[in-house]
Structure 1
Amino acid sequence: MLTKSPKPAYKRYITWGIKGALLIEGIGLAASYGLWYKLNTDRDFRLYMFKNHNWVLEGYYGIGEAIADQKIRDLDQAIWSNEGKI
């Protein structure tokens, strides 16, 4: 009869570490997609980010202008100025 020998402890720690890293990376990816989706669909949220966390909005505008040559920044500025929000 064959006997089972347990895995060495370092293999278990490596496996847990890899699983933990993948879990953290998945959570980070989901959070970044959620932020991008909210920025992409909600102008009031972009105004909040403009007033409170401008560096995030600058990154969003920069990526949009680099990839798709979008002018969302100019459109947002014009609408917020017309509405008197900035």
Structure 2
Amino acid sequence: MLPKTPKPAIWRFIKGSAKTLFVLEAVCFAASYGLYYRMNTDQDFRRYINEKYPFALEYYYKIGEIVGDSKVRDIDANYWSSATAQFQKKE
């Protein structure tokens, strides 16, 4: 019978790192999907993103144009301009 030898510590480190990387990747994927879902369903959130992080909204619009829904940018622009005009009329 062959004597059992302990595995080198590097293999334990690699396995632990791989598990950590997998969990981290799953968490990042879930967070990015949640952000995309919220941007896709909530126009007020898109406006907030436009005010704080316009580059992120631009990427969202580009992805939408590639996938095929190119009307979102126009709908948002029309809605925001009409909402601004209505707000200015009230004052």
Q: TM-score, normalised by structure 1?
A: 0.89
For CA contacts below 8 A with separation 6 or more, give which structure has more relative contact order: 1
Query: Which position in structure 1 is the counterpart of 2:42?
Result: 42
Q: Deviation digits for residues 37-75 of structure 1, max 9, x if unmatched?
A: 010000000000011100000000000011114210000
Equivalenced residues, count: 85
Identity of counterpart residues, as a percentage? Answer: 46
Q: Give the alignment's TM-score, normalised by structure 2.
A: 0.84
Secondary structure in 2 matching 1:7: coil
Name the stretch that deviates more: 27-36 or 67-76.
67-76
Alpha-carbon distance between aligned partners in 1 of 2:17 and 2:50, rounded to the nearest angstrom: 38
Larger radius of gyration: 2
Distance 1:6 1:27 in 2: 33
